[in-house]
């Protein structure tokens, strides 16, 4: 069969409009200038949430809940006190998606040593990624094939937001990568 006449997959381009609509809906709003430190913290927190499993569409200014379930992170619409005895794992943090498409986290005060160790491990992986990147732009995700669809849309919006925030602040993030390798966030203490 000649693929130029009848291409495999999506020959009529169905679904493209929906993807473009979702990308537009995830566009950052209310972007403000951020220092490299703020951008770094936003990127780390957002990376943690985007690495979590979830299959629902998130919206800015809503609160979500991050759990550690086995060896994985899971984002939920359900608060820890609403689960009763069926809580899926250890509660880690309240998460809120900001209008600029970055995630703000409020960590639980009573994290277990195993969850703290998992957060430190995540931070060390983040630091290794920063150390191997030549620029902040390279470090930010354009397209991460391993992420599910919703997380890819949000990662793309995150990159646009952080790049624009740094540009507004007059910072290109050059010193950011060296700092991330040396810095420990408060979660490790």
Residue 96 lies in a domain: yes
Per the domain annotation, does 16 fall within a domain? no
Q: Is residue 61 part of a domain?
A: yes
pLDDT in tens, 113-167: 999 999 989 888 887 877 777 766 666 666 566 777 778 777 778 787 777 777 7
Of 49, 56, 59, nearest in space to 27 by CA: 59
Better-predicted residue by pLDDT, 96 or 144: 96
CA distance 103 to 98: 6
With contact defined as beta carbons under 8 Å apart, do 96 and 110 qualify?
A: no
Q: Comparing 178 with 107, which gets the higher pLDDT?
A: 107
More confident residue, 36 or 97: 97
CB 45 within 8 A of CB 161: no
Give how far the C-alpha of residue 58 lies from the chain's centroid of Cα atoms, to the nearest Å.
12
Q: Quick one: pLDDT at residue 186? A: 45
Q: Is residue 86 part of a domain?
A: yes
pLDDT of 108 above 80? yes
> Three-class SS of residue 47?
helix
Question: What is the rounded distance in angstroms from the CA atom of residue 89 to the CA atom of residue 91?
Answer: 6
On average, the pLDDT of the chain sits at 76
Residue that wins the pLDDT comparison between 153 and 99 = 99
Percent of the chain with pLDDT over 90: 29
Q: Model's pTM, two decimal places? A: 0.74
Is residue 127 included in any domain, yes or no? yes
Q: Does residue 47 sit within a domain?
A: yes
Distance from the first to the final alpha carbon of the chain:
61
Domain count, the chain: 1
Give me the pLDDT at residue 76, please: 96
| Residue 78 is assigned to a structural domain of this protein | yes
**What pLDDT is attached to residue 105?**
92
Residue 184: exposure state from Cβ atoms within 10 A (0-12, 13-18, ≥19):
exposed
**Cα–Cα distance, 133 to 116 (Å, whole number):** 26
Residue 172 or 63, more confident: 63
pLDDT at residue 39, rounded to an integer: 78
Residue 58 maps to a domain: yes
The residue range of the domain holding 105 is 28-188
pLDDT bracket for residue 1 (50, 70, 90): very low
């Amino acid at each position: 069969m000649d693929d130029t006449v009848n291409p495999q997959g999506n020959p009529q381009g169905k679904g493209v409009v929906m993807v473009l609509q979702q990308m537009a809906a995830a566009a950052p709003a209310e972007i403000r200038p951020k220092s490299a430190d703020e951008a770094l913290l936003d990127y780390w927190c957002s990376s943690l949430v985007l690495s979590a499993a979830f299959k629902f569409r998130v919206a800015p200014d809503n609160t979500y809940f991050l759990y550690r379930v086995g060896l994985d992170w899971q984002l939920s619409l359900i608060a820890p006190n609403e689960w009763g005895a069926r809580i899926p794992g250890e509660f880690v943090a309240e998460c809120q998606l900001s209008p600029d498409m970055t995630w703000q986290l409020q960590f639980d005060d009573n994290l277990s040593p195993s969850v703290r160790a998992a957060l430190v491990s995540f931070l060390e992986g983040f630091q290794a990624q920063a150390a191997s990147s030549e620029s902040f732009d390279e470090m930010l995700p354009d397209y991460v094939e391993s992420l599910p669809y919703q997380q890819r849309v949000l990662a793309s919006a995150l990159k646009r937001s952080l790049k624009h925030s740094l540009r507004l602040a007059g910072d290109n993030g050059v010193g950011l990568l060296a700092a991330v390798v040396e810095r420990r966030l408060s979660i490790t203490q």
